[in-house]
Amino acid sequence: DVHLVQSGGGPVNPGGSLRLSCAASGFTFGSYSMNWVRQAPGKGLECVSSISSIGSYVYYADSVKGRFTISRDNAKNSLYLQMTSLRAEDTAVYYCVRDETVTSWGIFDYWGQGTLVTVSS
């Protein structure tokens, strides 16, 4: 079974930094693109960052460009999101999401449990 177990997150002051981690199991991690998708409280979904299977291609939403960095360690089956210069509007549940990849990029077939990031003073 595919499992994506997230860690990190929590409260942080505006302007602060936080690192999210996602441990993958049950599939060949290095063969799949991965994503971070967030959901502000009571709101819809936004894909904030994506990374290709070997990390050669990355994508950032305009809302986080220059502040967030996505990375992966295929030897450790892990995905990361380094978040800096955090703002109140970054408050959201962040999901680690596997990209189905085989058919197309952008099909989000497995989701982690989500972790809440709260940016507030």
Closest alpha carbon to 114 in 97, 92, 99, 94:
94
Site for another protein in 91-110 (CB under 8 A): 95, 100, 103-110
Q: Name 82's bridge partners.
A: 19, 69
Q: Check residue 21 for interaction with another protein (CB under 8 A).
A: no
Convert residues 60-79 into a mask of x (bound to another protein by CB under 8 A) and - (unbound).
Answer: -xx-----------------
Amino acid at 115: T
Closer residue to another protein in complex, CB, 73/109? 109
Contact 58, 50 (CB under 8 A): yes
DSSP designation for 26 = S
Closer residue to another protein in complex, CB, 56/121? 56
Here the contacts of 68-76 (C-beta below 8 Å, separation 24 or greater) are 68/36, 70/36, 72/29, 72/34, 74/29, 74/30, 76/23
Q: How many residues bind another protein (CB under 8 A)?
A: 21
Q: Check residue 56 for interaction with another protein (CB under 8 A).
A: no
- The single residue among 86, 112, 117, 119 that binds another protein, judged by CB under 8 A, is 112
In the complex, the smallest distance separating the C-beta of residue 71 from another protein, rounded to whole angstroms, is: 20
Per CB under 8 A, residues contacting another protein are 44-47, 59, 61-62, 95, 100, 103-114
